[in-house]
Structures are given as C-alpha cells and as structure tokens.
Amino acid sequence: MGDERHGHPGLRAAGALLEHPEQAGIHQRADRRHRLRRPRPRVALRHAGRQALSTRNQTHRSRRVGTDQAAAAGPLSGEPRRHEENRRSRKRILLYTKFFVFLVFLLRAFVFPRAQESGKTVADGVYTDAQAARGAAVYDTACAGCHRADLGGGTGPALRDQRFARQFAGKDLRAFFTKIATTMPRNAPASLGDNVYLDIVAHLLKENGFPAGSQELTADTLDGVGVLPGRSKPAPPIGGFSYVEVVGCLAPGPQHTWLLTHASEPVVPAAGAPPPASAAAARPLGGATFHLLDAMAYAPEAHAGHKMYVRGLLIKLPDEERIAISAFEMLAPQCGAP
C-alpha cells in the first residue's frame, strides 16, 4: 500500500518487493535521508521491471506452448501425410491398371490375329503321326496321372472338348505350347525339353481330332498357326467282338440261315441309346453282308425283303462276318435296295 511522504498524499513509497536493488543502494548512500521519488520514474521502473519479467515469462511460456502444441500436433500431422500417401498409391494403381488394359488391347489387336492373318490352323496337318505317337508315350507317363489318359481331366483340367476350346481356341499355337512347356508336369514344370513338349502338343492335337501332316511340328513352325476348337475324334476301326448296329435287307440264306444284305457299315451305338437309334434308322444302305445268328428266334419269315435294324455282337471270321442278334426291328416294309 505505501505511506504518505512530506505532505503529498498522492505519492506512495514503493514497497520493498518492487524496489530495484540499485535504487535501494542509492537511497542508503544519501546519508540515509529519505528522498522524494517521483512517481513517474518509480512507476516506470516498476512497470519496466514487470514488463521485463512479463516478457521473459511470456517468452518461456511461448516456447513451452509451442513445444506442447508441436507435441500435440505430432500425431495429427501424420494423418494428412497418410492421406497424401494413400492418394498417390491409388493414382499409381490406376495408372498401372490402365497400362495393363492397354497392353492387353495391343496383344489382342496385333499379336493374336497373326494366326488368322496367315490363314494356317491346326487343321492343316502341322504334326506327324510318328510325332504324336512319341508324345502319347510321354503323356501316359508324365501327364495322364493328372489329366487322365483320355484327356478328360482329373486333378488337372481337361485338355479336350469345351475346356480346350475355351482356353486355347483363337490363340496362336505357340501360346498353347508355352502353357504346356512351362506348367507341366505339375511337380517338375519345364523339365522335359522343348522337343518332348512338341511331341506332347502333337499328341494333344491328334486327340482333339486334328489331322496329321507330312512335316513334324518344330519350335520354328509354332508361330502363325491358329488353334481351333477341338473336333470329334475319328472313331477307331471296329474290330471283332464289338457291339454294333447295322441296317440292311433281310434275305434267306443257304441251309435255313438268314442274311442281312446291302447292309451299312457297322457302327458302335451311343451308350444308353434304345434301339433302333434314329441315326441308324436313317442310315443309307451299303454293300456289306452279315450272317445273322439266332435269327429263327425272331420269326424272320415275316420280314423277308424288309428293311431291318439289327444290333448285336460282331464276330469277324476269315470268310464271313456274323452278328449275334440282341435287337431286331423292321424299319420299312420294302428294302429299296439298289
């Protein structure tokens, strides 16, 4: 609070806590005589002291606040950085995707059509029978365990029919070769050598119904050959003791036997197809003759001269061919044989 000095109530002595040490020394050296201090210097001095102290405190507080704010802002400042990195990552992914799509377009536009431009396909005989035979032997030991001997697929995918067409049709034969040479056998891919893989390709082409030619398939002849959807494999020649069906004209033979004359070539009936098969009924007559065994069990006299359908077991002998009848039906009352 202070006290009044020398009759001046407006002046108050500065308290000890607010008096500058240098000012206190001056006052003591002046014969301990109280000096009248003007308010302005004292106030200014006191104000300056407070100002300086306040400035230092303000500086210290500003530094502390700045440090605290930086520490507090540390975790937050990472968020924008992560957002920026994510944005750049998305841009890179989009750029790579566009590049991949463009590359696929180029391949489809300029690489795959080369086979179609050349006009040569796997139907033009690009392998030999001997090459396919070598490939079949290797396939049986190295590939059939996964894909089955008939290429129908097991633990590995099928290599014929719809699967073959879906995966390889329309592509270059080199793509077919590369797929096989780099992925088979499963436990040792690319281990057989190019010539062996070429033999396997020849075997697969043959099993998919494509004909053989006079020149072997080589690495140099893969390019420009188009792959077509697989075709039905030609039926193997029918041997003795095969279950077959034929159509022909019923006629009596020597010694109370019955013959099927002007008969069509025997074919193996479709599995599960009831007799007579529609395809067999429409089949034209031919030039074969078969001795019908057990014909007497079917009352053949009533069908003499009729066009007949016969299904049964084919027996080939040196001097004739016989059929042990299992199905016997009339197709037309007149044979119409030439």
Classify domain 243-332 at the CATH topology level.
OB fold (Dihydrolipoamide Acetyltransferase, E2P) (2.40.50)
Q: Please report the DSSP string for 251-274 in residue order.
A: EEETTTEEEEEEEPPPBPPPTTPP
Q: Which residue has the tokens 């957002």?
A: 83
Q: Which residue has the tokens 């057989």?
A: 192
Could you tell me which residues come within 8 angstroms of residue 84 by beta carbon, excluding any fewer than 6 positions away?
Answer: none
Task: Specify the pLDDT at position 210.
Answer: 92
Q: Is residue 315 within 8 Å of residue 324, measured between CB atoms?
A: yes
Q: Which residue has the tokens 């300029």?
A: 110
With a pLDDT cut of 90, the percent of the chain lying above it is 45
Can you tell me the mean pLDDT for 21-25?
Answer: 51
Report which residue type is found at 230: G
Task: Specify the pLDDT at position 233.
Answer: 65
Task: Specify the pLDDT at position 105.
Answer: 64
Q: Is residue 310 within 8 Å of residue 287, measured between CB atoms?
A: no
pLDDT greater than 80 at residue 51: no
SS3 310: strand
Give the mean pLDDT of the chain: 79
Q: Which two tokens stand for residue 70?
A: 């930086």
- With bands split at pLDDT 50, 70 and 90, how would you rate the model's confidence at 208? very high
The H-or-E segment that residue 167 falls in is: helix 161-168
Length of the chain as a residue count: 338
Can you tell me the mean pLDDT for 319-325?
Answer: 96
pLDDT greater than 70 at residue 130: yes
SS3 155: coil
Task: Specify the pLDDT at position 40.
Answer: 54
Q: Which two tokens stand for residue 227?
A: 């792959």
pLDDT greater than 90 at residue 122: yes
- With bands split at pLDDT 50, 70 and 90, how would you rate the model's confidence at 107? low
- For residues 255 and 49, the model is more confident at 255
pLDDT greater than 80 at residue 25: no
Could you tell me which residues come within 8 angstroms of residue 117 by beta carbon, excluding any fewer than 6 positions away?
Answer: 224
DSSP state of 240: T
Task: Specify the pLDDT at position 5.
Answer: 47
Write the CATH number of the domain with boundaries 120-226.
1.10.760.10
Task: Specify the pLDDT at position 153.
Answer: 87
Task: Specify the pLDDT at position 76.
Answer: 46
Spans of all domains in the chain: 15-86, 120-226, 243-332
Tell me the C-alpha distance between 203 and 131, whole Å.
7
Q: Is residue 213 within 8 Å of residue 123, measured between CB atoms?
A: no
Q: Which two tokens stand for residue 226?
A: 């188009």
Can you tell me the mean pLDDT for 15-32?
Answer: 50
Angle at 304 between CA 302 and CA 270, to 5 degrees: 95
Q: Which of 118-132, 222-236, 319-333 has the lowest mean pLDDT?
A: 222-236
Tell me the C-alpha distance between 14 and 22, whole Å.
14
Q: Is residue 116 within 8 Å of residue 227, measured between CB atoms?
A: no
pLDDT greater than 50 at residue 45: no
pLDDT greater than 70 at residue 219: yes
Q: Is residue 307 within 8 Å of residue 334, measured between CB atoms?
A: yes
Q: What is the pLDDT of residues 232-283, one digit of tens each?
A: 666 677 888 899 999 999 999 999 999 999 999 998 887 677 777 666 667 8
Task: Specify the pLDDT at position 94.
Answer: 81
Domains 120-226 and 243-332 share a fold: no
